[in-house]
Amino acid sequence: MSSKQCVPRSNLVQGTARLTALAGGVCAIMFTCTLCSLPASAQSADPCNDPNISGARQSCPKEPSGNVADDLQSVLACAWIDSNGVEPLLKALRILTRGPVALDVNEKVLAKLTAASPDHESLFRAAMGDVGRNGQPRTQGNPDLLDTLAKASTLKPKDEDKPNYKVALFVCTQDIIDDLYKDNVPSDRAGPLALARINDSFVRKNNYLALSQLLHAVWRQNDAQHLEKVRAAFALNADDLASQVAAKIKPAK
């Protein structure tokens, strides 16, 4: 009789099950460790952090450029990304885009701009035409004040980087608009309702009002960097931004 002993079939089955479970556990650990070893950008990439966008950002100048128009753009661009400057600038933009125009509109806008960047009151006064006590300008101001306020940005890509910058920028704004639509809080400020109003303004070709509405809606996320990217996209191609908004309202094709 052979000295070899037969192992019962039930023991073989149990042993195989243990090995399978052990192998599965090892695989799970290896998979988890692989994920942990990946950079954060690979695990959860935010399209608004694309280096094609961040690489276009310029630092705020420490010295004035030498003329009102350029300094106004630089000061407003830097105030827009300052958490203390966003609220006053949003209010200034709202005042300039709502109608009808009030008699004290110049005084109110000047006050908001100054609140956003107190060290530059004289620059704002010059840009607005030296507003007097009666609220009326005494000199020729900057006729592009509204446009400058709406589009001022520290994002200035080099010419050779502009194609990739544009693609990345509108991928970012699409993500911002998608998030806004999901913000379906039960109130008058719900994302879908806000987008419907913004779309209506774009349809009426009241682009500055549409931008003001969009910035106010996005600001609920308290992210000044997102506001800058929306304004930069508006400056690059307002129609493309309007199309992204419209896609949330019109039937999908």
Q: For residue range 26-78, what is the model confidence (pLDDT) as tens digits?
A: 334 333 333 333 344 433 589 999 999 999 999 998 888 889 999 999 999 99
Which residue in 94, 96, 95, 58 sits closest to 77, CA to CA? 58
pLDDT in tens, 193-236: 999 999 999 999 999 999 999 999 999 888 999 999 999 999 99
57: which strand partners?
A: 155
- The pTM score is 0.80
Q: How many helices (H) and strands (E) does the chain have?
A: 13, 0
Residue type at 53 in one-letter notation: I
Measure the N-to-C terminal CA separation of the chain; round to a whole number of Å.
Answer: 80
**In the structure, what pLDDT confidence band is assigned to residue 3 with cuts at 50, 70 and 90?**
very low
Q: What is the percent of the chain where pLDDT is above 90?
A: 64
On whether the CB atoms of residues 152 and 135 are closer than 8 A, the answer is no
**pLDDT at 198 (0 to 100):** 97
